Amino acid sequence: MSYTCPRCGSPVQHGSHSSAALAVGLIGSLLMAAFGAFECKKCGKIPQSEFPPEVRSKIMMGSVGMAVGAVVLVIVLFVVLAALKR
């Protein structure tokens, strides 16, 4: 989902953290993207408090969705590993 910078109107994106991706892979990347700061190419990091309330609500729902996706991914991983052990 695309959001615009409240300062300049440019598109913003979730900040990326390569150390999280290296440490725990896809699950770490999902969680960092879900709860990390937004970044604008022109303005830098944008705290969520600067977004309008309706955008913050959409951001929160997207973050919860990514976190739930990460949990589901972990459960699927355990189920597959348990099935392979049999």
Integer Cα distance of 45 and 59 in angstroms: 15
pTM metric for this prediction: 0.69
Closest by CA to 15, choosing from 47, 53, 52, is 47
Per-residue pLDDT 10s for the chain (86 aa) are 578 999 999 999 876 656 655 566 777 777 777 777 888 899 989 888 899 999 999 989 988 888 888 889 889 989 999 999 87
